Copies of this chain bind each other. A is one copy, B any other.
Amino acid sequence: MGVIVQKYGGSSVATADKIKSVARRIVETRQQGHAVVVVVSAMGNTTNELLALAASVSDDPHRRELDMLLTVGERMSMTLLSMAIHDLGYPAVSFTGSQSGIITTDNHTDARIIRVTPYRIREALDGGSIVIVAGFQGVSERLEVTSLGRGGSDTTAVALAAALDADYAEICSDVDGVYSADPRHVPGAARIEALSHEEMQVLADAGAKVLNAEAVEWARRNGVEVRCSKTHGDRAPGTWIRQRAGLAQRRVVAVTDHPGLFFLEPAEPGLPCPAELESTLVAHGASDAQVWRLPGGWSALVPRQNVHGNRAFLQALDALGGVRVREDLTLVTVVGRGLSTPPSVLRPAKKALATAGILSRGTLLDAGRVAFLVDGSQAKAAVDALHRALIEDAPRVGPPTDSPDPAGAPD
């Protein structure tokens, strides 16, 4: 019996009714003949409520204690989900990250999974149980409970899928897959049937929230297939993320703006980049920042979501000196493959922005992306213009989806 690992995010289990509905979805998967391991996040807003509780007793909560507190959220959702499955007449057992053998670094509140030793999960699966695992958490070699940082439940699911040699990891959320742009803002946006790990990684780094970037990295390194599906409502095909062989042909996959960035630049033209900039970034959780030190100057992009406390972070940057922090800019990224191969995709992209009256303040280009630094107020318009020019109206250079490839053609 093949194993499927399913992950349900916080909004999928936000209420008792949603938990019961997720329980039914899990049982359906089981009835289809799969062994099922489920990774679950904390209910709805629980994690933020726990952070607020910590803030109410301490200005700077001790990290080890904060991890013990935050991991409560998934412990609650996993037990409730397990109870709901029992009520449907199926055996289920819930395990914490520690009980699941999720071994992590001891970097509290932002730990990384080192390895997975799922002895208890295997034993429970062999005994016929559906297994529910607390996402977002693990245990260090020193036996301390750790949390993986935001979005860590995706990584838990992919790492477990790799360790259990699962058929695939299914990431279930409110949306039915990965789209070529945010369909709430771009009417022409379409669901992508399949994309490569590399494409998904660029997309996640560029700000798409459907799947955590580190989880995609785990999936790529371990060859795990990932399916992004909708939790509630009718079953839809979703989006598959798969290993793809060398890709010669250009293909523009999606356009996205970043949901929240700090842009750092010299406080005055010509001021050098502080030597301790990178270590300061890492110390405040922003290990996913991008820093450019170039002959003509320097700048840095810092995703806000992983920064531990904006106030302390901004104070630390202030202490470095010579750094200007801008919150009015964002990055709009075109994700694809072969994008730096001539004929350059940069030219039609720039033309589309200019036609829409959008000023690009900077450009990044490599094989997987073309990105523009624009005013935050113009981000949605920029996505719209780029999506129309490069995807909707574009001559189809590569297949728009990975639906059956042309016979025998290497893809």
A317 within 8 A of B: no
User: How many whole Å from A99's CB to the nearest CB in chain B?
Assistant: 8
Q: What residue of chain B has the Cβ atom nearest to residue A59's Cβ? A: B87
Contact at B53–A65, with CB atoms within 8 Å?
no
Query: Within the assembled complex, what's the spacing in Å between the Cα atoms of A192 and B64?
Result: 42
| A94: Cβ under 8 A from any B Cβ | yes
User: Which of the 9-residue segments A29-37, A73-81, A238-246 touches chain B?
Assistant: A73-81
Minimum distance in angstroms from A108 CB to a CB of chain B: 12
Interface size on A, residues (CB 8 A): 37
Q: A56 vs B53: C-alpha distance in the bound complex, in angstroms? A: 24
Within the complex, which residue of B57, B60, B75, B82 is in contact with A19, where a contact is CB–CB below 8 Å?
A: B57
Q: A84 with B58: in contact, given A53-B76, A64-B93, A93-B64 (CB under 8 Å)?
A: yes
Contact status B86-A58, CB under 8 Å: yes
Query: For A99, what are the chain B residues with a Cβ–Cβ distance below 8 Å?
Result: 143
- Contact between chains at A94 and B80 (CB < 8 Å): no
**Residue of B at shortest CB range from A43?**
B53
Whether A57 contacts B94 in the complex (CB less than 8 A), given A62-B86, A83-B66, comes out as no
The answer to whether A79 and B87 touch across the interface, beta carbons within 8 angstroms, is no
Tell me if A312 counts as interface (CB < 8 A to partner B): no
Q: Across the interface, do B58 and A68 meet the contact criterion of CB distance under 8 Å? A: no
Q: Does A7 contact B (CB under 8 A)?
A: no
Residues of A8-65 contacting chain B, CB below 8 A = 16, 19-20, 23, 50, 53-54, 56-62, 64-65
Q: How far is the CA of A50 from the CA of B76 in the complex (A)?
A: 9
For A19, list chain B residues within 8 Å (CB).
57
Contacts of A94 in B (CB 8 A): 65, 68
CA distance A231 to B34 in the complex (A): 54
Q: A80 touching B69 by the CB < 8 A rule?
A: yes
The answer, yes or no, to whether A72 is at the interface (CB within 8 Å) is yes
The CB with the most chain B CB atoms within 10 A, among A23, A58, A99, is that of: A58
What is the bound-complex CA distance between A58 and B69, given in angstroms?
25
How long is the Cα–Cα vector from A62 to B76 in the complex, in angstroms?
14
A79 B83 Cβ-Cβ under 8 A: no
Assuming the contacts A59-B87, A86-B58, asked whether A79 and B75 have C-beta atoms less than 8 A apart, the reply is no
Instruction: For the complex formed, measure the closest distance between the CB of A42 and the CB atoms of chain B, giving whole angstroms.
Output: 11
Q: Which residue of B lies closest to A80 (CB)?
A: B57
Chain B residues closer than 8 Å to A66, beta-carbon distance = 79, 83
Q: Which of B50, B59, B78 contacts A68 (CB 8 A)?
A: B78
Partner of A72, one of B75, B81, B143: B75
Docked complex Cα distance between A353 and B20 (Å): 55
Which residues of the other chain, B, contact A84 by a CB distance below 8 angstroms? 57-58
Q: List, sorted by A's number, 22 A–B pairs whose CB atoms are closer than 8 Å.
A: A16-B53, A19-B57, A20-B57, A53-B80, A57-B80, A57-B83, A58-B86, A58-B87, A60-B87, A62-B82, A62-B83, A62-B92, A65-B79, A65-B80, A65-B92, A65-B93, A68-B79, A68-B94, A68-B96, A69-B79, A72-B76, A99-B143
What would 4 more interface pairs be, CB under 8 Å, given A50-B76, A57-B81? A16-B57, A20-B57, A68-B78, A69-B83
